[in-house]
Amino acid sequence: MRDLGAGFGHLLKGQRWVARHGRSYGFGLLPGLITLVLYAAALTALALWGEDLVAWATPFADDWSSPWSGLFRGFLTAVLFALALLLAVLTFTAVTLLIGQPFYESLSERVDRDVSPDGTAPESALPFWRDLWISGRDSLRILVRAAVWGVLLFAAGFIPVIGQTVVPVIGFFVTGFFLTEELASVALQRRGVQLRERLALLRSRKLLVWGFGTPLGLAFLVPFVAVFLMPGAVAGATLLARELLGEETRDGAATGDGKENSPEADGTHRM
């Protein structure tokens, strides 16, 4: 349970950090605003024409007697919109990070320098275009995993009682895990930690990850909130990444010994 509190603590510390650094916060808002406009347009289009799309996809229901055809298509339209909303929550972070790669890389480095005992930050040895390619490729892999989970949870939602109680809770924890992976990837990729190693690190501290990502995922359900929380979420995920790797902070407190949770401990190696 301590890790749950520590994860949430990193989320709060990240928000406080950007609150103290107004310029970094302002630049960090831009990618989220761009992504929000794109997603709002897509969801609005789905709300306007989703019923027509469902009608086109279910021609077999044309001959059904009233009110069954309308009820069936109305239900499918609602399910389609709910699934699109879930995917929007799952993918918002990945798309925003991809659009705002230079902004968030700079923000994450500033956090590292601010909390590091020697005032330095790890830097990627790769050119910018290579980092961008790796980030996009890994984000796509994570989105595929998230989509698989989304389909499974969607199907499980039809199970009586469990589908309306247990499944939504599992969904929030799954969302929290993938959100944390995407956000922490900014700092971890800069350190040369590959996707497989990142997932191993996160799985080794699931409570820490859930404590950070699950409340953030819940907050992201509120319109516009994701935009304003993104800069602080990147800052907080940088602090979380330091704890996962056992890196010390400026106040002299180690965030962990880094041995049992490091990639080297499970037989993997950095790039």
- Tell me the CA distances in angstroms from 65 to 52, 55, 57, 61, 178, one per residue in order: 19, 15, 18, 9, 44
In a domain, 35, yes or no: yes
pLDDT of residue 258: 40
Query: Per residue in 1-55, pLDDT tens?
Result: 788 889 999 999 999 999 998 888 888 888 888 988 998 898 889 888 888 888 8
Query: Per residue in 118-158, pLDDT tens?
Result: 888 888 777 777 777 887 788 788 878 887 887 888 788 77
* Banded model confidence at residue 206, pLDDT cuts 50, 70, 90: very high
pLDDT of residue 251: 61
Query: Per residue in 232-260, pLDDT tens?
Result: 999 999 999 999 998 887 764 444 444 33
The stretch 58-86 carries a mean pLDDT of 81
**pTM reported for the whole predicted model:** 0.75
- The residue assigned the tokens 């989703």 is 50
List CB contacts of 232: < 8 A, sequence separation 6 or more.
11, 14, 15, 16, 17, 18, 19, 25
> Which residue pairs from 23-26 have beta carbons closer than 8 angstroms and sit at least 24 positions apart in sequence?
24/106, 24/107, 24/110, 24/231, 25/231, 25/232
- Give the chain's domain count: 1
Mean residue pLDDT across the chain: 82
Query: Per residue in 110-120, pLDDT tens?
Result: 999 999 888 88
In a domain, 271, yes or no: no
* Banded model confidence at residue 265, pLDDT cuts 50, 70, 90: very low
Q: Give Dmax (Cα) for the chain.
A: 74
Given a cut of 90, is residue 103 above it in pLDDT? no
At residue 248, the 3 state secondary structure works out as strand
How many whole angstroms separate alpha carbon 138 and alpha carbon 196? 10
In a domain, 138, yes or no: yes
Residue 158's domain comprises 2-266
